[in-house]
Structures are given as structure tokens and as C-alpha cells.
Amino acid sequence: MSFINLKDKVVQVKIVYYGPGRCGKTTNLEYINKTYRNQIVSEMVSLKTHGDRTLFFDFLPFDMGKIKGYDIKIQLYTVPGQVKYNATRKLVLRGVDGIVFVADAMAKQREKNIRSLNQLHENLLSYKESIFKIPLVMQYNKVDLKEHGIPILPTEVLQKDLNSRLKVPYFEASAITGYNVAATLKKIISSTVISIQKKLL
């Protein structure tokens, strides 16, 4: 749940990047950190293993400016993608306001995407949240690999696999080059802020 401080007029919004291992969640945050450096006051926090895999989460806070006199502070988190870390994934989801599901568009990762999305659904249920209600954006990452001759899933297949029932906004993206990283972020921020506004009215 977002926290609204009426005294200092600050709204804190928690957005989590979720997805299977090595799909590019941390890369999304690294690109945002690099590109929007002037809006980010603090350093990106990464809790990772020696092998550079996310162990607990990455955290990146930034200011979005004011809406109706309230300062909007966006807090971006990633979860660890590896299968064995579900307990920590669940902890990161606590109090989430909006989710970006990063899917790996590589053909061989097809099943992992589906499994990860199903687990997201279960994890949200444990907090009495519904994947059908929470602001969610799909990002089909790694589309740049096509140029390197690596087989990737067509967007229609990914849509059918992951988004046929959810019907949420989606983006083809390449976190490493930055393609549609900002578009994904803008979409999830706007959906989340609108949903918070609705809850308050």
C-alpha cells in the first residue's frame, strides 16, 4: 500500500519489477538509473551475489514531481528471479502498488515466463491482492536478440501465453539498449497513480 504523508505532502509509491531469472529486471533499473540520474537523489541499492545475480532486491528511489501539490516519490524494486528465492520474492511484494512483469522473449524461456507469472499470481493472493486488479504492465524484453539470430517468441505468442486473460498494456523492449524501458516505466507509473487516486476518492 502506498503511504501518504499529509503533513509533508508526500506520496510514496512502490513499483516492483517481477519476472523469471535473467529476464532483465535489474537491467531495466540500471538503465533508468543511468538515464534519469538528475532526478535520482540517492544511489541504487543492489543486494546481489558474487556472481552478480540479485539475492534479495534492487532498490531505486526517484522523484516524479508534484501532482495536486503532493510530491510523488517512486520506489522501484526488483525481485530475485531465481526459482529458489520465492520466499524473498514474496517479501519484496509486500505493500506493492504496481507491477511490471518482465518476460524473456527468448524462445527457450517460454515456459519459465508462464511459471513465473503463475507464481506472481499465487504470491499476490497471499497478500490478498489480485493480479487482475493490481496495476500491471507487461514488458517483452530482449527483442534486440532477433538481430543476432537468436530465436525469439513473436509478440502474438507472448500475448497469448501471458496476457490473454489479463489484457494489460504491453511493450516490446530491450532493457540493455533502453528501447521502451522509459515507455514501460511511464505506463506503470500512470496506471499506479490513477489506481491510488481511485482508492482515495
Partner 1 sequence: MNYGIVSQEQLEQIDTILTDKLIKLGVDCVIIIDMAGNIITAKDNGESKYDVYSFAALAAGNFATVDAMAKLVGEQEFSLLFHKGQESNIHFSKIDDELLLISMFGKDISLGFLRLNVVDVIEKIRQLWKRK
Q: Which is closer to partner 1, CB of 66 or CB of 160?
A: 66
Grid coordinates representing 191?
A: 496506471
Rounded to whole angstroms, the Cα distance separating 21 from 104 reads 9
Least distance to partner 1 from the beta carbon of 177, Å? 27
Q: Which is closer to partner 1, CB of 36 or CB of 59?
A: 59
Least distance to partner 1 from the beta carbon of 24, Å? 21
What letter does residue 143 receive in the DSSP assignment? G
* Residue 47 near partner 1 by CB under 8 A: yes
Residue type at 157? V
Residue 17's closest CA among 185, 191, 154? 185
* Residue 88 near partner 1 by CB under 8 A: yes
Return the H-helix or E-strand segment holding 185. Answer: helix 181-200
* Residue 46 near partner 1 by CB under 8 A: no
Angle at Cα 61 formed by Cα 13 and Cα 28, nearest 5°? 100
Of 14-43, binders to partner 1 (CB under 8 A) are 14, 41-43
Q: Which is closer to partner 1, CB of 77 or CB of 170?
A: 77
What letter does residue 46 receive in the DSSP assignment? E
Q: Provide the β-strand partners of residue 3.
A: 12
Q: Considering only 5-13, 21-29, 105-113, 173-181, which stretch makes contact with partner 1 by CB under 8 A?
A: 5-13
* Residue 67 near partner 1 by CB under 8 A: no
* Residue 84 near partner 1 by CB under 8 A: no
Burial of 31 (0-12, 13-18, 19+ CB in 10 A): buried
* Residue 56 near partner 1 by CB under 8 A: yes
* Residue 87 near partner 1 by CB under 8 A: yes
* Residue 92 near partner 1 by CB under 8 A: yes
Of 113-142, binders to partner 1 (CB under 8 A) are none
Angle at Cα 101 formed by Cα 40 and Cα 89, nearest 5°? 80
Q: Which is closer to partner 1, CB of 61 or CB of 169?
A: 61
**Cα-flanking dihedrals φ and ψ of residue 165, to 5°?**
-100, -35
Interface residue list for partner 1 (CB under 8 A): 1-7, 12, 14, 41-43, 45, 47, 56-57, 59, 61, 73, 75, 77, 87-88, 91-92, 94-96, 200
